[in-house]
Structure 1
């Protein structure tokens, strides 16, 4: 079942305000469990983790910035 436009907007907002900061905290804490790697390895891990979170959520964010396609057209 596909999400409605309003549901996708709500989920996108929830993900950006709540989920992404939690993801960042978890990523930093997981890296901190190990001995600190060289700077370039640490940077590469953070860049990869910074991109990877978006792929499974791409469907939620697609078209959120566009006008509601289900809204009735405005009368002029």
Structure 2
């Protein structure tokens, strides 16, 4: 079932305001628990994790920044 524009917009806000900070805390916690690698390896891991978090949510974010396709068209004045 496809999400409506309003539902995608709401879920994207939930993901960005709650999910992303929780993901960042989890990643930093796991990185602190393991033995610290060299600075370049650690930077590479953080960059990779920065891209990986968005992959499962790609369908939610797609088209959210555009105008609502379900909204009635406004007549030109």
Q: TM-score by structure 2 length?
A: 0.95
What are the residue-to-residue correspondences of 1:6-21 with 2, within 5 Å? 6-21=6-21
TM superposition shift of 1:35: 1.2
Alpha-carbon deviation of 1:49?
0.2
Partner of 1:43: 43
Runs of 4+ in 1 over 2 A off after TM superposition: none
> In 2, Cα distance between the equivalents of 1:14 and 1:56?
14
Two-structure CA RMSD over aligned residues (Å): 0.6
Structure 1 unaligned blocks of 5 or more? none
Distance 1:24 1:34 in 2: 16
TM-score (norm 1): 0.97
Distance (Å, rounded) in 1 between the aligned partners of 2:64 and 2:35: 40
Q: Which residue of 1 aligns with 2:30?
A: 30
- Supply the distance in 2 between the matched residues of 1:34 and 1:19 (Cα, whole angstroms): 23
